[in-house]
Amino acid sequence: MQWASWSAFFNMGGYAFYVWFSFGLTALCVVWEVLSLRKRSKAALRLSKILAQG
């Protein structure tokens, strides 16, 4: 292990803002993309169902 303690890990040698912002933003993009695609897929299926029935 590289870290003496959890606080040392979160501190990232003083670069906490830059490192965690980078990883956090990446995670946020991934989550947002997956959720928005799920929503889009559901909406498309719902609409085609209505079209098929009507």
Binding residues vs other proteins (CB under 8 A) = 1-3, 9, 12-15, 18-19, 21-23, 25-26, 29-30, 33-34, 37-38, 40-42, 44-49, 51-53
Rounded to whole angstroms, the Cα distance separating 42 from 21 reads: 31
Give min distance, CB of 7 to other proteins, in A. 13
* Residue closest to 15 by CA, chosen among 25, 26, 5, 23: 23
Give min distance, CB of 53 to other proteins, in A. 7
C-beta of 7 vs 18, nearer to other proteins: 18
Residues 6+ apart with CB under 8 A from 16: 10
